[in-house]
Amino acid sequence: MEPFDAIHDYLMQGKRGALATIISRVGATPRDIGAKVFIGEDGKIYGTIGGGCMEAEVWQHARNVITGGEPESLRYSLDGKTVEDEGMICGGTVEFFLEPVTSKEKAVYNRILHYVSEGTKAFIITKAGGKPFTKTLIAEDGERTGDPVGPEFETTFENFFRRPVSLYNGFLIEPVVSSPRLYIYGAGHISQYISRTAKMVDFHVTVIDDRAYFANKERFPEADEIIVDEFGDVFGKIHPGRNSYAVIVTRGHKHDAVVLEGALKWPSRYIGMIGSKRKVKIIYDDLVKRGADERLLQSVHAPIGLDIGAETPQEIAMSIVSELVKVRSERASVLPKGVSVEIEAIARK
């Protein structure tokens, strides 16, 4: 689970935590500026800033931040012994900013997750020193969430996108940058190749299946998130948005239909379903009988993938990911006119 997803879940449950962000580095280090980990009050960690002793040190300081409720800066040096002991191929100095995550920032984090899902440009503005600790979110359209800040942040909006993290007048400035989110429903052999290929072209990959012996890190080591749950129940636990992509490759018609019905209730950028034209027609006809909107079904890519004459699982995965990239590169919505509005209306019900 990604840090912002985890924060959303913790705050919804009334729990606290601490967020650590790399704000500077010198030399070769495992992760770049802007990398994050979230440490929950229960000690669980989400995301990574490089692992090993460095991550353990950050974890320990995060516990102090959670207890004390005050932000903290931490500088960590990867000396020769650390690099040798942990088998790293890097060495350098990393500076972290650790901040408390409490119910006070709940509205800000809810909005961050929304913007990540939607692909909306925004900035997180966090007070890096002194009291009181403040956190603000400013969207491209000027919408603000959180604590008040001065008007100078609006005048330099575009400039902040030049770096993942900036220090400006005592504030830590971070652009909200979202990778397109790919939800792969089904964890079969084709899904393995889809996951690997999609990750190589910068999709955030979530694999979903109801079988733990298929959906696991051994089979999907590159996936950002793996969810083991019934296909009909999972839509109450994920947060697809307009910057999300759904690939339906389950093990049978019944599961495909359940996922498609659920996916159509979210304003995704792309929905694709594997199968022959005959299979697709059977599923569509059944969903229409159950009240599905035919206009929404017209937006589904089925059969899925670009026509490259694919036959093997690897080739099929390549055709599917190629179609994802093609859709991602198109500036306009791939949905028929009026359909995106209809999807959002359904999602709000």
Residues 97 and 111 in one domain: no
Partner residues linked to 168 by β-bridges? 171
Residues 232 and 271 in one domain: yes
Orientation angle between helical segments 313-329 and 189-200, nearest 10 degrees: 40
Any idea which of 168-182, 188-202, 210-224, 300-314 has the lowest mean pLDDT? 168-182
The pair of structure tokens assigned to 136 is 């603000």
> What pLDDT does 91 receive?
56
For residue 121, which of 111, 130, 129 has the smallest C-alpha distance? Answer: 111
Domain match, 16 and 151 both: no
Round to whole Å and give the CA distance between 225 and 234: 13
pLDDT tens sequence across 279-330: 899 999 999 988 888 888 989 999 899 999 999 999 999 999 999 999 988 8
pTM of the entire structure? 0.60
Say yes or no: 198 and 305 in one domain: yes
The verdict on 113 and 82 lying in the same domain is no
User: What confidence tens digit (pLDDT) does each residue in 25-82 have?
Assistant: 776 665 678 888 999 999 999 887 766 778 888 999 999 999 999 999 888 876 544 4
Asked which of 160, 177, 194 is the last residue of a domain, the reply is 177
Query: Which CATH number do you get for residue 257?
Result: 3.40.50.720
Q: Which of 177, 200, 222 is the last residue of a domain?
A: 177
**Structural tokens at position 96:** 């972290």
Residue 241 binned pLDDT confidence (cut-offs 50, 70, 90): confident
Residue that terminates a domain, selected from 67, 101, 135:
101
Same domain for 130 and 252?
Answer: no
Residue with token string 């929905």: 271
Regarding whether 193 and 124 lie in a shared domain, the answer is no
Domains held by the chain: number: 3
121 and 204 belong to one structural domain: no
Per the rule left: phi > 0, alpha: psi between -120 and 50, beta: everything else, 329 is: alpha
| Residue 195 in this model has a pLDDT that exceeds 60 | yes
Give yes or no: residues 288 and 203 share one domain.
Answer: yes
In this predicted structure, the answer to whether residue 344 has a pLDDT above a threshold of 50 is: no
- Contact status, residue 256 vs residue 286, Cβ threshold 8 Å: no
> Do residues 90 and 194 share a domain?
no
The tokens of 305 are what? 């993938």
Residue 23: both structure tokens together: 């704000």
* Same structural domain, 319 and 226: yes
Cα angle at 126 between 123 and 132, to 5 degrees? 145
Distance of alpha carbon 313 from alpha carbon 179, whole angstroms: 25
Residues 78-110 have pLDDT tens digits of 654 444 444 444 557 888 999 999 999 999 999
Q: Are residues 88 and 194 in the same domain?
A: no
Domain region containing 151: 102-177
